[in-house]
Amino acid sequence: MTNHFLCLTDWTAAELDAIFALTKELKDKQKQGIAHPLLAGKTLGMIFEKSSTRTRISFEVGMYQLGGHALFLSSSNTQLGRGEPIKDTARVMSRYVDGIMIRTFSQEGIEELARYADVPVINALTDSYHPCQVMADLFTVLEHKGSYKDQVYCWIGDGNNMAHSWINAAAVLGFELRVATPKGYEPDTSVIERAEQLGAKITYTNDPLQAAWGADVLNTDVWASMGQEQEQLQREKDFVGFQINAEVIDAADGDCLVLHCLPAHRGEEITDDVIEGRHSVVFDEAENRLHVQKAIMATLMNKE
């Protein structure tokens, strides 16, 4: 097991399954009001270079429920915002806190942070990957389907950090994945090649209905992510047809689940009737960020 949670391909299937098992245990205890202070007396430093709703709340509440403390740090109120090298920040923070969570732009930057830190580093989102979100997604599928295995997953939309993490998850955990993106918006070739080397069962297409046919789980994300707002108008044209709507639901399995990492642009990548419909589990999925991340933090920060 690695000391950090940066990318799903750094972990084995058995290790990720252990996190799911701990997630269920911690969620059950929280629902029953049973204290579980696995990180009593420990502090998580949370670095935000990108804004957040679910990430900040879930990590902060999660640390509180685990008996620890979370410290919010933004680039605007730390020396990172004034150009302090990441390696210096890593070594200084390691002397103050027991773990570092970072939500930032560069995957290379988070890997440098982990290289110089003496405490666990958790990737809460980069432009390349969003591993905590996909873990929450898979745990939600596990809850509703009884297993995340033996399911056919369909990604419709941009070949972005979420698509990359789904590809990584399919490579490590072995489930079938279909990725449908507009031409020119395919996932990064290095991510695809690494998944192929791991024997992943992934189909890539530019036809969303083909990808959705008979699928058990449908998933999407906004057409323009943070930092791509200037591309919004062009993307609205390029992504026509790449929407989870009634037609896509009809093509999928009759008991399919619909996921969305939120926030959603209703009427763009997903319709309002779908996100409010019987197939949608997006709010269970959002809640499970809390429980999965607690399990990740406990696994990394409490070696006992």
Domains within the chain, CATH numbers bracketed: 4-130+287-301 (3.40.50.1370), 133-285 (3.40.50.1370)
Q: Which of 39-53, 176-190, 224-238, 260-274 has the lowest mean pLDDT?
A: 224-238
Question: Among this protein's residues, is 130 annotated catalytic?
Answer: yes
The verdict on pTM exceeding 0.85 is yes
The reply, when asked if residue 225 is annotated as ligand binding, is: yes
Judge whether 103 is annotated as a binding position: yes
Catalytic residue (choose from 98, 137, 221, 253): 221
pLDDT of residue 226: 64
CA distance to 53, 193, 293, per residue, from 22 (Å): 24, 31, 10
pLDDT digits (tens, 9 = 90+) for 118-159: 999 999 999 999 999 999 999 999 999 999 999 999 999 999
Contact 105, 269 (CB under 8 A): no
- Residue of 103, 164, 178, 291 with catalytic role: 103
Q: Is 260 a catalytic residue?
A: no
205 DSSP β-pair partners: 180
In the set 130, 178, 235, 279, the catalytic residue is 130
- Is 221 annotated as ligand-binding? yes
The per-residue pLDDT for 83 is 78
Residue pointed to by tokens 């200037």: 230
Classify 206 as helix, strand or coil: coil
Q: How much is the average pLDDT of 92-103?
A: 97
Q: What is the CA radius of gyration of the chain?
A: 19
* Active site annotation includes 56: no
CA distance 128 to 191: 9
Strand partners, 203: 178
Going edge to edge, which strands form the sheet with 121-123?
69-74, 43-48, 99-103, 121-123
Sign of the CA dihedral running 254, 260, 266, 269: negative
